[in-house]
Amino acid sequence: MQTLVRLLLISMSLVILAISWLYLHVHSSITLPTTPYEFSIQPGSNLKQVSQQLSDAGLFPTKWSLIILARYRNQESAIKAGDYKLTENITQIGLLDYLTQGDPKQMEVQFLEGWTFAQLRKTLNEHPAIQNRTGSLSEQEILQLIGASEAVAEGLFFPDTYYFVRDSSDIDILQRAYRNMQNHLQTHWENRSASLPLNTPYEALILASIIEKETGLKKDRAEIAGVFVNRLRKGMRLQTDPTVIYGIRDQFDGNLRKQDLQTDHDYNTYTRNGLPPSPIAMPGLDSIRAALNPAETDALYFVAKGNGESLFSTNLADHNKAVNQYQRKQK
C-alpha cells in the first residue's frame, strides 16, 4: 500500500513538473534573429510546414514545439497565411496567438477608373507580391479561367483597391474584380430608370465606360448620360471621341484628326450607329449609376469647356457656337 501511494505521489509530482515545465516553456521569450524580424506564411501551408519553417528560423526550438502547442490548443488549422512582422521578443504562445489571431500584413493593388484591360494587366504583372499566372495567356483564356461568359475582357473589372496576402495569384484578384463589377452592375440594373434604350446590363456597361472617358467630373456624368440616351432613342449616332481613340489604339498620338473621325472601324461612333461592340475602359460606380439613371434632359450635344466641365446644348446651332467658343479657341 505504501509503495502504491509512493508511486502515485511520484507520478503526480512528475505530471506537475511536466505541466510546470510546459507552462514555462511556452511562456518563455523567443529571441528574434533580427529586430524587426519579418517572415511570410505562404497560402496553403500546413502546420508541419509552418513549424519546420519557424524552427529553421530559430523561433521555436524544434518543429514539434509548435505542432504540440497548436494541437493542445486545437489550433492545428487556424494559422493564417500572410506577411508577419515582429518588432520585439515574443513568447511561443504569444507567437501562436499572433499567427492565428493577429493581423498579418496585407498587400494591395489598385485599379483606377478609366483604365483599360491592358493597363490592368500591366499593373498585375509588375506587382512584386503577386504570382503571375496569366502573363502568357490570351484574353480569352483569362476570361475562361475566371469563369466569365463575355468574349472581350475590356471593362469587366471593377476599379477599386484590392487587398491580398503575398504570393496570391493574379487570377484570384481578377476573379474578385470581375465579381465586384457583376454585382454592382446587376444591383443598379435592377434599379434602372424606365424605358432606357439598353437591352442588357452589358450594354449599360458599354455606355458607362464611354461616360467614364468623357468626363472626370461627377456632376456632369448624369447629364452626359442623358445626352447619349437621347441620341440612342432618336437613332442619332453617339459621335463620341473616346470610342474613336480606343479603336485607333496604339496609333493614337494624342491628336484626334478629322481623318480619324471619318475612318470607319467597329468603335467609330461617328460612322456607325448605336453602341460600340464592347466597353472601352473600366467605369467606376458613378458612371454606372449615370448610365442606368441618366438625367432627364432635352440636350443632344455637349462640349468640353476646358476646365473639366461640359456645356450642354439642345440644338446643333447652339452646339456649334459652344464649339467655337470653347474648343477652337484652345487650338
Helix (H, G, I), strand (E, B), or coil: what is residue 317? helix
Instruction: Please name which of 36, 53, 56, 35 lies closest in space to residue 44, comparing C-alpha atoms.
Output: 53
What domains lie within the chain, and their CATH numbers?
25-101 (3.30.1490.480), 107-185 (no CATH), 197-330 (no CATH)
Looking only at the bridges linking them, the beta strands covering 168-169 and 130-131 are parallel
Each residue's pLDDT expressed in tens, for the chain with a length of 331 residues: 566 656 565 555 544 444 444 444 544 667 788 878 878 887 778 888 988 998 888 888 778 778 888 888 888 888 888 778 887 778 877 888 888 876 667 788 999 999 999 999 999 999 999 999 998 999 999 999 999 999 999 999 999 998 887 788 999 999 999 999 999 999 999 999 999 999 999 999 999 999 999 988 888 999 999 999 999 999 999 999 999 999 998 888 878 888 989 999 999 999 999 999 999 999 999 999 999 999 999 999 988 877 778 888 899 998 888 888 877 655 4
DSSP state of 125: H
What is the Cα–Cα distance from 217 to 139, expressed in whole angstroms? Answer: 31
